Structure 1
Amino acid sequence: MVPSYPRARDRRVTPAARTTVLTLAATLAVTLTGCQGAALSDDDGPAAAGGPVRIGVVVPLTGPVSQVGTALRNGLELAVKKVNAEGGVHGRPVEYVVVDDAGDPANSTQLARRLVRQDKVTMLFGTITGDTAEAVGRVADEAHVPFGTAILGDTEHCFAYQWGFGESTRQMLTPTVPGLVAKYGKKVALVGSDYNYPRFYAGVAKELVKKAGGTVVAEEYSPLGQTDWQPVIGRLKSAAPDSVLSMVVGADAVTFSKQAQQFGLLTPELGYEGAPLDADFQPALGALVAGRTHTVRWSDQVDDAESRAFAKDYRDAHQWKAPIPEVAGNAYFGVKFFLAAAEKAGSGDPQAVNKAIGGLTLDSPLGKGTRFEPSNHVFQADMREVTIGRDGAYTVTRTHPMVADTTPKKGCA
């Protein structure tokens, strides 16, 4: 059965700032005819070596994680604007095409194929949830087109053409778990949205909790879109944890956190870390997260000239007063890294760009000598501990320089 698809906001930006809105269903009808699930043919291949550098952006602009998807798109747009203002890539302007996958991996697959076949993109970027990232990663490998993500965490599988600019699971949890166990106690509970990445996150967390001398006393998952968390909260509360590690994502992160406080699980004495503490959710959670610490790759309070300039541009462009979501910063600096690799490659050929990505070392606000680990395609960069203020500021209180994650994965080569 062919899945139904939402309408997409599809936008190609050129130096003339051209904007086009298309109906996704009509476009996919052409894309899917006679080739659903088929491998790419030579005629359907990616961008030519001498063409423009074009980014295909697969992102949820509707659905339960649309807020985070919009932040990713906003960061990417500012990166492209900055690179074009500085002369583009190997003398050519950068273009991008944005499509809305609504957070559905079936949509992500078909849209990624369309971007490669029809729009002839040089690279792919985006998605939010781990299952959509894996879906696009498979298309990227099939098409030999590099694909970058900006989300926190990493996929369980490695693809030769996929690169993650968000903090990996181990990079997040390596400095976090020992601190939680030491400060709050040894009993840790895990809760997450029910898809592949939160379960992968839990697997790493259990390993690090044990290493820190702690014990996992509960583990719960619920599907995206959950509105009644009381049964889950009741089971977590009955386990009497000292800390809760949460990978409940999207709008569910707010619902879960508020109900956890309402039903007596989330108290000031309980350690609380994970996705709900991301800057995306601070305006909705406010005092509930104030005073807590959180491990991130980037914060809009990073004291660096380039970071401050990006934060100002973001606030000016979107009349933004709340904390800038981490995913926006990861997307901004990630796209700049991708485009620096395209500059190094000297062409818009996707395979040449992919090779350059794997060999590039770049200084940025994310750290000195940032690069990708070849054995797992994890971005090696600094991590920060931030304290969330009552004013919403994510103030950097500690920097962990170049937190390494060299855990090997199959499929990277």
Structure 2
Amino acid sequence: MSINRRHFLASAAAATGALMLPRAVMAADTIKLGSVLDVSGIFDAYGKPMDMALRLAVSQINADGGLLGKQVEVVGYDTQSDMALYSQYAQQLVRQDKVDVVHGGILSASREAIRQTLHKNKTLYFYNVLYEGGVCDRNIFINGVTPAQQAEALVPYAMGKSGKKVYIVAADYNYGQITARWLQKFVADNGGETVGVDFFPLDVSDFGSTIAKIQTAGPDLVIAPLVGGAHLSFFRQWAAAGMKDRIALASTTLGVGNEHKVLTAEEGNGIMVAYNYSQELETPENKAFKKAWVAAGGDAGGMHELAVSNYHGVLTWAEGVRLAGSLERDAIIDALETGISITGPGGKVTVDPKTHHAVLDVHLMEFENQGMRVVETLPQRQPIDTQAVCDLVANPDDNTQYEIQI
């Protein structure tokens, strides 16, 4: 099943008014969509546009007649980048608000803070962020890219433009640690050598000694799965040290929250990335999305990978509800497991029945004048890393985050 392309564009045009209907209209008989995101706090650069995108998707659904004859109401909570609030609000969404679905979480830690609560209470959950792979749970659907979809494409491209010796600097939690292992595998698979790997807590902002260490190691390429505002300092300090034109730089995270717009062009130009979305994509769906975003009051430059992934997640859930003809969780899961697709600003998004992950277009890109220039599009890449450990068709009761053996 695939949502009609014309239907998407018409829906986007219809929703250029308010993001939500007034509360008085919503109060009667609505479908409740729960949202838990860092709308404030240290990760608000990710969370605010994700919240905006979710509400835009809901407004378009409602402008198009809603779902099952009902309007969709957003019940949203700001976690303030506090893991304890994630747990608290998940309980509240389930027990007090009695929502029909939850979309939310940014870090893997925030996902795991709420996933078991939602699983136990049989409340359908969508996690719409790139991550390290391996989650196998019939109650969750994941719309972000995994390492095999992203890094497997980025590594040979970046090595081809630089050389075989690679140094990795990564965030020191499960995303960075697992992604670093995948990067080492893909470097080796492409005939390269990893000459160094360093990990940094999320609050580290001084990378002077690390840059000196990299200079000593003499790699051809640095790949940086770094996360958050503090880690943005690495890219500034790298450029200030005169390294940007001496050693090539790639990242699996830089730009997903529009960090390339915070860097100057001189600091960012030439950095290589691979994501599902760029504002520079010249497609009818992306043009319609950007027009609707601005008309709804969004910052024209505020759209980013995680926001679009959240938007895709809401559209995917809505199409599952339409196909199921029901709000019953298992009926929606069964509908989504038919391999349902939508077409959005990042391209075609298809549910993989085996893993509940998304099959996505991935775009190899380079930063250019604070934009993301698309070099090549790799269509409909499978989450083969998670497929190696997860088969929800054969094992529907699985509820594990596997650490994939690399």
TM-score over 0.5 (shorter chain): yes
Q: 1:335 Cα shift?
A: 0.7
Match of residue 409 from structure 1 = 389
The answer to whether the 8 A contact 1:68-1:250 is kept is: no
- Give secondary structure in 2 for the equivalent of 1:276: coil
Match of residue 15 from structure 1 = 21
Q: Which amino acid aligns with 1:16?
A: P
- Give secondary structure in 1 for the equivalent of 2:251: strand
- Is 2:223 the counterpart of 1:217? no
Moved more, 146-155 or 262-271: 262-271
| Counterpart among 347, 367, 377 of residue 326 in structure 2 | 347
The answer to whether the 8 A contact 2:257-2:306 is kept is: no
The answer to whether the 8 A contact 1:64-1:224 is kept is: no
Q: 1:131 Cα shift?
A: 1.2
| Counterpart among 126, 138, 141 of residue 148 in structure 1 | 126
Match of residue 293 from structure 1 = 272
- In structure 2, C-alpha distance between the alignment counterparts of 1:215 and 1:135, rounded to whole Å: 36
- Is 2:230 the counterpart of 1:257? no
Match of residue 341 from structure 2 = 362
- In structure 2, C-alpha distance between the alignment counterparts of 1:338 and 1:290, rounded to whole Å: 37
Percent identity between matched residues is: 25
User: 1:96–1:69: structure 2 CA closer, same or farther, 3 Å change rule?
Assistant: same
Match of residue 77 from structure 1 = 55
User: 1:385–1:243: structure 2 CA closer, same or farther, 3 Å change rule?
Assistant: same
Q: 1:349 Cα shift?
A: 2.2
- Give secondary structure in 2 for the equivalent of 1:247: coil
User: 1:271–1:282: structure 2 CA closer, same or farther, 3 Å change rule?
Assistant: closer
The answer to whether the 8 A contact 1:341-1:360 is kept is: no
Normalising by structure 2, what TM-score?
0.84
Q: 1:334 Cα shift?
A: 1.7
User: 1:387–1:232: structure 2 CA closer, same or farther, 3 Å change rule?
Assistant: closer
- In structure 1, C-alpha distance between the alignment counterparts of 2:228 and 2:24, rounded to whole Å: 31
- Is 2:130 the counterpart of 1:132? no
Per-residue displacement from partner, 1:76-126 (whole Å, max 9, x unpaired)?
Answer: 111000000000111110111111223333322221121111111111112
RCO comparison, higher one (Cα < 8 Å, 6+): 2
Q: Which amino acid aligns with 1:254?
A: L
The answer to whether the 8 A contact 2:222-2:247 is kept is: no
| Counterpart among 187, 212, 231 of residue 209 in structure 2 | 231
Structure 2: give runs of 5+ residues left out of the alignment. Answer: 1-18, 397-406
- Give secondary structure in 2 for the equivalent of 1:351: helix
User: 1:265–1:389: structure 2 CA closer, same or farther, 3 Å change rule?
Assistant: closer
- Is 2:374 the counterpart of 1:396? yes
| Count of residue pairs brought into register by the alignment | 369
The answer to whether the 8 A contact 2:360-2:382 is kept is: yes
Q: Which amino acid aligns with 1:189?
A: Y
User: 1:14–1:61: structure 2 CA closer, same or farther, 3 Å change rule?
Assistant: closer
- In structure 1, C-alpha distance between the alignment counterparts of 2:36 and 2:226, rounded to whole Å: 22
Moved more, 260-269 or 293-302: 260-269
- Is 2:38 the counterpart of 1:60? yes
Q: Which amino acid aligns with 2:136?
A: C
- In structure 2, C-alpha distance between the alignment counterparts of 1:271 and 1:191, rounded to whole Å: 11
Per-residue displacement from partner, 1:42-95 (whole Å, max 9, x unpaired)?
Answer: xxxxxxxx9632111111122221110111111111100000000011111011
Q: Which amino acid aligns with 2:388?
A: P
The answer to whether the 8 A contact 1:301-1:394 is kept is: yes
Q: 1:301 Cα shift?
A: 2.2
- Give secondary structure in 1 for the equivalent of 2:137: coil
- In structure 2, C-alpha distance between the alignment counterparts of 1:213 and 1:114, rounded to whole Å: 51
User: 1:265–1:136: structure 2 CA closer, same or farther, 3 Å change rule?
Assistant: farther
Q: 1:18 Cα shift?
A: 6.5
- Is 2:384 the counterpart of 1:378? no
Match of residue 168 from structure 1 = 146
- Give secondary structure in 2 for the equivalent of 1:377: coil
Q: Which amino acid aligns with 1:106?
A: A
Match of residue 286 from structure 2 = 307
Q: Which amino acid aligns with 1:315?
A: V
The answer to whether the 8 A contact 1:190-1:202 is kept is: yes
| Counterpart among 188, 205, 219 of residue 183 in structure 2 | 205
Q: 1:267 Cα shift?
A: 3.4
The answer to whether the 8 A contact 1:64-1:225 is kept is: no
- Give secondary structure in 2 for the equivalent of 1:158: strand
The answer to whether the 8 A contact 2:167-2:219 is kept is: yes
Match of residue 172 from structure 2 = 194
The answer to whether the 8 A contact 2:167-2:196 is kept is: yes
Normalising by structure 1, what TM-score?
0.83
Match of residue 327 from structure 1 = 306
The answer to whether the 8 A contact 2:249-2:272 is kept is: no
- In structure 2, C-alpha distance between the alignment counterparts of 1:378 and 1:314, rounded to whole Å: 26
Mapping of residues 11-50 of structure 1, within 5 Å: 15-17=21-23
